[in-house]
Amino acid sequence: MSKAQYEGYTDQAATKLVREKFGDTNVYAQNAKSILTKASGFIAAYDFTINPYRGCQYGCSYCYAAAFSPNNKMRHDWGKWVIFKENSADILEKELENWYRKNPHLSPKIYMSSVTDPYQPLESKLQLTRRLLEVMLPYRPVLVIQTRSPIITRDIDYLQRFQHLRINMSIPSGSEVVRKDFEPRSPSIKARFNAIYKIKHSIDSLKGFVPKLSVTITPLLPTLPTDESDFIQKLAIADRVVIQDFHPSDQRSLVASTRQEAKEIKNKYAWWYDSKHFGYLQFKEKLVSQLPGIEIKEGKAGFTYE
């Protein structure tokens, strides 16, 4: 099968046309042959990953998923294009039916999402993720949702019906100035914490299931000394805090690695990365000492459901 050619990113005849513009993002539609992908590597503890979108409007400078772009032009324009899997709900229904025919007494472990944000801005219009949640509910999966978006609160009515759910909210820094440098297209830190508070306090434990809540500080970005105490205090809303350093750099395509954009921004914060008084180990020690009773996990170990 010939490789898809995306309008705006090819010198050949385009086979995938821009369906619409969402802000400054080119949006393409595509039918998926499969929506459940066998989990491996970093999230091998799961049976499947599920990604309703390819590409991500947040376009974070450090995002390893840019390596999996359809071509180099799209890799360099990370954040300005999204491909949505138009038939994802129908495909998921078939795949889960097949799973339960083979595993009638075993709930699948699903990680959503590994290479996109399931609640990026386009989700507010398309509602693909919401439809996938609706499909999954009768199958009672063990589900982990990874996002940095307050849009997730829209789906509290579904989320509270999952008995085994963990929500990982990505908040890599406690300083807005740092966030704006590394991920200027993403929601504010305040909006993300507000989303966690709303999820935790809007669900009546007598009428629904309160999900497990993690804050994933991944990759760990600098937090200014003036913001650090407040940031750590706010992390107490979660039952788990996960920290992780940047992915190793690798110039090959199709390899999860830290992008050049992020490495250049890191130079601005050399005072944090190179200092004996700041940095990864020092921040970890502060989390452990100031958040008693909360799980502090590193890297792969922090992304399990348990």
CA–CA separation, 78 vs 146, rounded Å? Answer: 19
2 located within any domain: no
Distance CA 296, CA 280 (A): 13
Tens of pLDDT, residue by residue over 225-260, are 999 999 999 999 999 999 999 866 555 444 455 668
Residue 187 lies in a domain: yes
Query: Is pLDDT at 293 greater than 70 in this prediction?
Result: yes
Answer yes or no: is 14 within a domain.
no
- For residue 98, tell me if it sits in a domain: yes
- CATH number of the structural domain spanning residue 73: 3.80.30.30
Q: What is the pLDDT of residues 113-139, one digit of tens each?
A: 999 999 999 999 999 999 999 999 999
Q: How far is CA 23 from CA 79, 82, 210, in A?
A: 11, 12, 34
- In the chain the first and final C-alpha atoms are separated, in Å, by 41
Determine, yes or no, domain membership for 10: no
Give the total number of structural domains in the chain.
1
Q: The whole model's pTM is what?
A: 0.95
- Whether the CB-CB separation of 158 and 118 falls below 8 Å is answered with no
pLDDT reported for residue 260: 80
Asked whether the predicted pLDDT for residue 20 surpasses 90, the reply is: yes
For the stretch 272-286, pLDDT in tens is 998 878 899 999 999
Question: Which residue range is the domain that position 74 belongs to?
Answer: 20-300
